[in-house]
Amino acid sequence: MALSLAAPASPGWMSPTVPQHTARAVPGHNRWHPDIPAVAEVISGGSVRMDCQSRWDLDDRDPHADAILCGPLSVVGAEPGDVIVVDILAIGRSDGRYSGAAHPGIIGCAPGAESLRSVRADPDGALLGHVRPGLAAYEPVAAQAVRSVSRGHEIGGCAVARLTAGSRIMLPVRAPGAKLSVGDLHFPAGRVTDCQESALAGWIDLRINLTKRGVERFRVTGPLLMPDPDRAA
């Protein structure tokens, strides 16, 4: 996986490759926890390109495999009770082929520490980014970290709406920095109903804006997805 804070291309599927020297490799994660360290910071209004691997890269096409997520990305100044507004600028395949109605399978912010108590953790096979096995912090974090499937409606994904280029999602902040992660990119052919088999490695360009006290001001208590109106028509 790699991440670049260079300005991405304009919306659309044909996006030039970010120059190699502007990107850097980052470890992925397949669990959610507020103590997973951020791999980078972005200011409100900033743009980022996140390179995501396929869920099949490590698990030989196991349909129950946990998606490997890119991030977390810390939004400067974000605090619990705020909202981040994420615009999907462009999505593309790593092999450069036409991406069609590409969209992320998972996108969301880190959970709050209080919500971890109500979810059953599953430490087996946990990838925690920079918190690697053998480090003192690994076992305590792995013992509480939750799988994407256990987050339910706390995170956005294609099971709710397909966030193609031109779409927007509003996410309530539950942990300092928001700690945004995204992954499991899908590249379905046409308007197929089941897009799970179309998960491939690729990149996604995002623009992120911070709205202070957005939960109180706009009553955004869960992901608010706004698909591209041209594709939804």
Instruction: Reduce the secondary structure of the chain to three states and give it as a string.
Output: CEEECCCCCCCCCCCCCCCHHHCEECCCECCECCCCCCCEEECCCEEEEEEECCCCCCCCCCCCCCCCEEEEEEECCCCCCCEEEEEEEEEEECCCCCCCCCEEEEEEECCCHHHHHHCCCCCCCCCECCCCCCCCCHHHHHCCCECHHHHHHHCEECCCCCCCCCCEEEEECCCCCCCEEEEEEECCCCCCCCCHHHECCEEEEEEEEEECCHHHHHCCCCCEEECCHHHHC
Please name every residue paired with 210 in a beta bridge, in sequence order, or none if there are none: 84
| Residue 17, C-beta contacts closer than 8 angstroms, at least 6 positions apart | none
What pLDDT score does 191 carry?
Answer: 63
What pLDDT score does 66 carry?
Answer: 86
Average pLDDT, consecutive stretches of 10 residues, N- to C-terminus, the chain (233 residues) = 57 38 81 96 95 71 78 97 97 90 93 85 91 96 93 79 90 98 87 68 96 95 81 53
What pLDDT score does 222 carry?
Answer: 93
What pLDDT score does 160 carry?
Answer: 62
What pLDDT score does 194 carry?
Answer: 61
CA 198, 199, 202, 206 torsion: positive or negative?
A: positive
Closest Cα partner for 41 from 20, 19, 26, 21? Answer: 26
The torsion of the CA quartet 142, 148, 154, 157, rounded to 10 degrees, works out to: 150
What pLDDT score does 115 carry?
Answer: 86
Please name every residue paired with 192 in a beta bridge, in sequence order, or none if there are none: none
At 49, which amino acid appears? Answer: R
Full-model pTM: 0.87
Q: b/e string for 100-131 if b means 16 or more Cβ within 10 A?
A: bbbbbbbbbbbbeeebbeebebbeeebbbbeb
